[in-house]
C-alpha cells in the first residue's frame, strides 16, 4: 500500500498488505490488521524451535505475552529498535498480517 500512510488491513484486504512499503509503515505508524489466530498457530511453529517452555535463559519465553507486547517486540526487531541478528531476520520475514496473527495466537494462552 504505497499510497496510504496508515495500514488499514483486515480480513480479505489483508492479503494486499505486505512488502517493503508496509515495512516502512509498520516502523513509523504500526497499525496491524485483526490477527488470524489459526494462521498464528501455524507460524508459532517457527518460534518453538528456539523459544521453549523452560526457565528463561538467553532465549526468553514468549508464551502468554500480551498481543501488544508481542507485536511491539517483533516490530522493534523489524525496525532495528531492538537488536538481535537472528530475531531481526525473523521479524523482517514477517509482514503485518503475520505479526498480527502471531500476536493474536500467543495472546490466546494456547502455548502456556
Shortest reach from residue 87's CB to another protein, in Å: 10
User: Which lies closer to another protein via its Cβ, residue 5 or residue 31?
Assistant: 31
Cα radius of gyration rounded to whole Å, the chain = 14
Residue 108 is classified by DSSP as T
CA atoms of 104 and 112, how far apart (whole Å): 14
Choose one: 9-17, 22-30, 74-82, 102-110; the region binding another protein (CB under 8 A): 9-17
Q: Are 6 and 54 in contact (CB under 8 A)?
A: no
Give the binding site for another protein (CB under 8 A): 11-12, 14-15, 18, 36, 38-39, 41-43, 45-46, 48-54, 57-59, 85-86, 88-90, 92-93
Amino acid at each position: 500500500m504505497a499510497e496510504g500512510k496508515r495500514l488499514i488491513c483486515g480480513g480479505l484486504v489483508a492479503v494486499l498488505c505486505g512488502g517493503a512499503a508496509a515495512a516502512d509503515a509498520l516502523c513509523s505508524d504500526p497499525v496491524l490488521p485483526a490477527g488470524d489466530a489459526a494462521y498464528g498457530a501455524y507460524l508459532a511453529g517457527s518460534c518453538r524451535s528456539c523459544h521453549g517452555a523452560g526457565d528463561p535463559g538467553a532465549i526468553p519465553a514468549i508464551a502468554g505475552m500480551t498481543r501488544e507486547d508481542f507485536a511491539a517486540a517483533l516490530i522493534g526487531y523489524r525496525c532495528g529498535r531492538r537488536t538481535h541478528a537472528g530475531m531481526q531476520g525473523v521479524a523482517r520475514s514477517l509482514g503485518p498480517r503475520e505479526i498480527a496473527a502471531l500476536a493474536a495466537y500467543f495472546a490466546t494462552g494456547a502455548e502456556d
